Homo-oligomer: A and B are copies of this chain.
Amino acid sequence: MKQVLASIVTIGDELLIGQVIDTNSAFIAQQLNSIGIWAHRRVAVGDVWDEIWETLNQESKISDIVLITGGLGPTADDITKPLLCKYFNTALVENQQAADNIRNIFQEREIPERIWGQAQVPESCIPIANKRGTAFGMWFEQNKKIFVSMPGVPYEMKGMITDFVLPELSKRYELPTIRYRTLLTAGKGESAINEIIQSFEDALPKHIKLAYLPDLGKVRLRLTTSGTDAIATEKELDEQFEKMKSLLTDITVSDNGDSMEEALGKILTEKKLTVGTAESCTAGNIAHTISSVSGASRYLLGGIVSYSNEVKHNILGVKNETLAQYGAVSEQTVREMVQGCLDAIQSDIAVAVSGILGPDGGSEEKPVGTVWVGVGSKENIVTKCLHLRYNNRQRNMDATTNAALNMLFMYVRNIH
């Protein structure tokens, strides 16, 4: 079986200026990889006719598939469509489906003249429907090479990859069976995990690869394998995965691809428990993250963003003496925040955080990165002090959110 190779070409000055970070390529590479196609090159070029042209020549020489994103908007700097017309020696024709799609998107609103250009699609391509925007995708074939052009808007591109490109590519090529299993852990770092599973890792068969994917207090461990016999491949992978899992039980959040918030949602639903939040420094990010799972209203009742001390006192009932004596960032305060949250929100469990995320607000006694987290019920409250070391407000915010969600998850898991 020959390895099928792809090049990913992103078009647009905004990527070269560095204003926009290219997340599309990573998504496409991941998706290709999941069906056994190796994206061996990624190229970003500007909105420049000759450079795009030359790149298509080059990449199609060394790859079976060239996936292109960007340059399909209705404005003058978007040159991908006319370029592809010329490149494949074809002409634009009106596509009924694309026209209907535009009408459907605009509904009663007036459709600007230039938008109608989006209904024009090159005659020789297979058009790819876009349920999420006006720009259709295009699938060309030439000299046994496949070229796919998609919009640069991540959300539109993703829909096309999932709904059309992957299934079509799977039909065209004989591809190996790629399987992977992911274990989400929280609370231990990459090195600490490595020490625990070192001998397991050393004993892994060569064709099974282990990847560590760390992300602010969480580490995803992914086992990947490929083979020609789907059943044997799955079986071997499952065995190794179970082995790895058994070594990491106490830090495991999910073994089925669920995110922390999905795993939390499932365990809360299963145990019929509700949760409320009391957030100072994260200012709603914990509640928002919990709510990002559809159906979260079954277990998330609400929360209090207590940024000011007045809100901590008035709504959460944190005593003024506590704030005066220990400060807003203290174990005593988060304990009272947990209690106040249970009373105000009337949830079974509450999670509370108060900390200093920086860059300002630190002191010698409580430097930037000092964060107290509390989780509890009417029965008992646990607390923890984080000492974050990121010199970046957003990272401290995310790390705090992750740590709080993990404490909440472990708390709920241990309720019998």
Contacts and interface: CB of A to CB of B under 8 A. Distances in A.
Interface of A: 13-23, 25-31, 33, 38-46, 48, 51, 55, 58, 73-75, 77, 105, 112, 114-115, 131-132, 155, 190-192, 194-195, 209, 211-213, 222, 224, 277, 279, 281-288, 290-292, 294-297, 300-308, 310-311, 314-315, 344-346, 358-361, 389-395, 397
B105 A155 contact: no
A390 B159 CA distance: 12
Given A13-B211, A18-B30, A43 B42 contact: yes
Greatest chain B CB density within 10 A among A15, A46, A212, A291 is at: A291
How many copies, total?
Answer: 2
A74 B191 contact: yes
A148 B213 CA distance: 23
A40 B48 contact: yes
B16 A42 contact: yes
A314 B346 contact: yes
Contact of A292 (B287, B391, B394): B394
Contact of A391 (B115, B132, B304): B132
A77 B210 CA distance: 9
A13 B13 CA distance: 25
Contact of A284 (B13, B41, B305): B305
Given A30-B19, A155-B392, A297-B308, A44 B42 contact: yes
A402 to B, nearest CB: 14
Nearest to A212: B75
A71 B394 CA distance: 25
Given A21-B23, A292-B393, A211 B77 contact: yes
Contacts of A222: 19
14 contacts: A16-B38, A17-B29, A20-B26, A21-B21, A21-B23, A40-B46, A74-B194, A155-B392, A277-B284, A283-B291, A283-B303, A284-B284, A296-B307, A302-B306
